[in-house]
Structure 1
Amino acid sequence: MAKNPLLLVPNQITIARILAIIPIAALVMAGDPTLRLIALILFILAAVSDWLDGYLARAWDQYSPLGRMLDPIADKLLVGILIAVLAWDGSFSALDMIPACAILFREFFIPGLREFLGNTQVVLPVSKLAKWKTTTQLVALTIVLIEPIAPGLGLLSDGLLWLAGALTLWTGWQYLAASWPHLSGEQL
């Protein structure tokens, strides 16, 4: 008898990551430095849980369709909602909004592309660079969160945000290029 996927520890960690987004956003939006520090700690725990749930799923052979669906959604929600909150509270400059919007664009576009291609039995596997892209996004957003608490990190946070934006666009381009024969009708 198959185990309920909601009882698998990796899935519970992923669900906790999704649920953590609400208090993280609320704490950042409160505008209090102490609450932002708590949001930062929760965000770091959520970011680390992205690695932990995958590690445990592999180590304990606890794969499930639910986990395969929820994990990338959790990542995109964590990044996307935090970008929206940081834009709302003024943590991003006008120039920072360029990589932030690039990240949001790709994070909406590629899942839509995957969903469309799912009907054609074409699979776009997650590349190693895409995993680095997610890590870079999470690190960049961590530094943006720290910046008001520990001033002087502006150049580092800007650089990491632009690097995350560039990696995000590059991996999006790779997925689009790989799927183009199926989108253009020129299937190989």
Structure 2
Amino acid sequence: MKMTLPNILTLFRLLAAPAVILSFLILPRPFADWLAFTLFVGAAVTDYVDGYLARRLNQVSKIGTMLDPIADKAMVALALLALAVWSPLAAAVVLPGAVILFREVFVSGLREFLGDVAGTLKVTKLAKWKTAVQMIAIALLLAHGAFNSNLGMAVFGMDAEMVSAVLDGSVDDPVGVRGKLFRAEWSGYIGLGLIWLAAVLTGITGWDYFSKARAHLGED
């Protein structure tokens, strides 16, 4: 494998996928949440940068072309797994996550079966929007876990009455409980909204790919 800059970035994205899971297995929270968030955002950025550099520097390679979609799918799948296991919103993430993963497996299977005519399943603009919404949603949900863990550390040792007094402004808020709660709530609300939107777009694009492939699935 020729180690061009685009290929190095693709490898980073591929290795960052299991590192998201390892961060939760090895590190205490909220450090695990922040590392997972940083890895995922870094990987999402390289998803655009490596393709741009490969074209700009004329360094498009077969290995890079092969690894790029694998890295994308691994990053999304393992990040969704981490959210389903460790996110405070796990129960609400499982169903849209399952829709997203089912579509990825289904479309990958179609492409493999179609072989030489897989070019009929070109990436559409809607699919690109789906990917963008998906990435933002997962990043926000990982951030929600980090904010939520920070909130838990901030109120550690306080009873419910004291927390209520801090939130309604009756007492001072030296550790920023109100700000931490605001960030935790809104990152969760927006992240959940976007992950469900991504699931809807995923279903639409999956059906679109299947419709295009039907002409090649008939029996002789």
Tell me how far 1:12 sits from its aligned partner: 1.4
The AA in structure 2 aligned to 1:57 is: A
Aligned residue in 2 for 1:183 = 217
Three-state SS of the structure 1 residue aligned to 2:91 is: coil
Query: For 2:114, which of 95, 117, 123 is the aligned residue?
Result: 117
Aligned pairs, number:
181
Amino acid in structure 2 at the alignment position of 1:175: Y
Indicate if the aligned counterparts of 2:41 and 2:139 stay in contact, CA closer than 8 A.
yes
User: In structure 1, what is the Cα distance between the partners aligned to 2:38 and 2:87?
Assistant: 20
How many Å apart are 1:90 and its aligned residue? Answer: 4.0
Name the structure 2 match of 1:155. Answer: 189
Q: Extract unaligned runs of 5+ from structure 1.
A: none
Q: Shift of residue 107 of structure 1? A: 1.1
Question: CA separation in 2, counterparts of 1:126 and 1:59?
Answer: 20
1:18 aligns with one of 7, 14, 20: 14
Given the alignment, which residue of 134, 140, 144 partners 1:137?
134
**SS of residue paired to 1:48:** helix
Identity of counterpart residues, as a percentage?
41
In the alignment, which residue of structure 2 is the partner of 1:34? 31
Q: Does 1:44 align with 2:78?
A: no
Mapped partners of 2:24, 2:191: distance in 1: 17
Unaligned runs of 5+ in 2: 148-183
SS at match of 2:211: helix
Cα distance between partner residues in 2 of 1:92 and 1:103: 17
8 Å contact from structure 1 (residues 6, 12) kept in 2: no
2:70 aligns to what?
73
Higher Cα radius of gyration: 2
Matched, 1:172 2:206: yes
Letter in 1 for 2:105: F
Deviation readout 1:123-174 (Å, 9 max, x if unpaired) = 1211122122111111110000011233112211110110111111111111
Contact in 2 for aligned 1:91/1:144 (Cα 8 Å): no
Q: Which structure shows the higher helix fraction?
A: 2
TM-score calculated relative to the size of structure 2: 0.77
Equivalent residue letter for 1:28: F
